[in-house]
Copies of this chain bind each other. A is one copy, B any other.
């Protein structure tokens, strides 16, 4: 077992923590760029509360709103311009994964002379790996991405239809101010998508990681179970604070590197989905909900770690293993797919009116973005172009 773990983000989690934003922010700067999305935070009072806390702490700010759901590199460029023009020394991201991811690319891009697309891994020869970033404070308003406490960002290029990532130590936020009351007003569909997203973050590492990680496996399963149990509650009753808290705590755990420490799992479902939402601009988690069960079924029957799939089935759904592990494993996927439907997720491309016409393109772009020495998509086992096409077709 080889583990390399580092996560210096300070986590402040709990009901009412938004009020403390200013007290953390003043440790890092005097003029903040506030990065946010479609403006719901202006309607539900979150923006006002954040600004009140910043004012109390003597912090001025500039706004960078309108970050789109799959944040575009153009938004990153816009944010960088705003920082340079206004002399901001701090970034505060208030929103979901898009606002937070965009903030990371802005924070690193503002300290880089070249174009920020250089840092997004898309098969280019010379990737710019940021070693510096402006201080960032994240304030998630959605339980899903885990971006609040990790150093990753996913950015899209609307010209090339590429959607890919940058992930490096410099991008860790300084502080994650996580106030679960901010998620009480998240609509039903976004709540379900968030739960789906969290679970896939956990399944990717659990199924694609190395062997010999018994504690990490238990942690992943326990977090999935908790997320499912409270996720359905949060979906059915958005104002259930306990459920919101547990789902948000699961979202942080799922992708802050701790639960999957040392598993070195690939993220094949994410890689394929990034291409899909890069082309169709669908919600990330909707794409995951469609691709993940199909990837699971393919993997179970094509050399995946069937023991882990069977354990997934028995731990989460109480499916008894009657000796036929493949059958047990597949039954677990069926149950998982049923759960996805229960939380309002699509499970076939047809539900989003996506036909087969771009499957070849999806496979090609995915493999262009990332592939191993055999030209395959890293996964356990690695996936050829044909494999990806089969997974996509089975999800039609």
Contact residues of A with B, CB < 8 Å? 1-15, 212, 214-215, 218-219, 222-223, 225-226, 242, 245-246, 249-250, 253, 258, 261-262
Name 22 A/B residue pairs within 8 A (Cβ), A-sorted.
Answer: A1-B13, A1-B14, A1-B249, A2-B13, A2-B14, A3-B11, A3-B12, A3-B13, A3-B14, A4-B13, A6-B8, A6-B11, A7-B7, A7-B8, A13-B262, A212-B242, A214-B246, A215-B223, A215-B246, A215-B253, A222-B222, A258-B258
Known: A6-B11, A249-B262. 11 other contacts (CB 8 A): A1-B14, A1-B245, A3-B14, A4-B13, A5-B11, A13-B262, A212-B242, A215-B250, A218-B219, A218-B225, A222-B222
The list of the 10 closest CB pairs from A to B, nearest first, reads A2-B14, A8-B8, A218-B222, A3-B13, A5-B11, A6-B10, A215-B226, A1-B245, A258-B258, A214-B226
Contacts A215-B223, A215-B253, A253-B215; is A11 near B1 (CB within 8 Å)? no
Chain B residue nearest to A6 in the complex (CB):
B10
* A12 contacts across to B, CB distance below 8 A: 3-4
A189 CB, min distance to chain B CBs, angstroms: 25
A96: shortest Cβ distance to chain B, in Å?
20
* Complex CA–CA separation, A250 to B222 (angstroms): 17
State in angstroms the CA–CA spacing of A304 and B328 once bound together.
Answer: 40
Q: Which residues of B contact A222 (CB under 8 A)?
A: 215, 218-219, 222
Shortest Cβ distance from residue A23 to the other chain B in the assembled complex, whole angstroms: 13
Q: Shortest CB–CB separation between residue A178 and chain B, in angstroms?
A: 8
Chain B nearest Cβ from A352, distance in angstroms: 32
A14 / chain B contacts, CB cutoff of 8 Å: 1-3
The residue on B at minimum CB distance from A10 is: B6
- Cα distance A2–B215 in the bound complex, in angstroms: 25
Q: How far is the CB of A198 from chain B (nearest CB, A)?
A: 12
In the complex, residue of chain B having the shortest beta-carbon distance to the beta carbon of A5: B11
- In the assembled complex, the CB of A216 is this many whole angstroms from the nearest CB of chain B, namely 9
Task: Note all chain B residues with C-beta closer than 8 A to A11.
Answer: 3-6, 261
> Measured between alpha carbons, how far is A253 from B261 in the docked complex, in Å?
11
- On whether A218 and B215 interact (CB within 8 A), knowing A1-B14, A11-B4, A249-B1, the answer reads no
CB closest chain-B residue, reference A2: B14
Q: How far is the CA of A278 from the CA of B249 in the complex (A)?
A: 39
Measured in the bound complex, the distance between the Cα atoms of B383 and A115 in whole Å is 62
Cα A246 to Cα B7 in complex, Å, equals: 21
Q: In whole angstroms, how far apart are the Cα atoms of A245 and B212 in the complex?
A: 10
* Across-interface contacts of A13 in B (CB, < 8 A): 1-5, 262
Q: How far is the CB of A223 from chain B (nearest CB, A)?
A: 6
Known contacts A215-B246, A215-B253; A5/B1 CB under 8 A: no
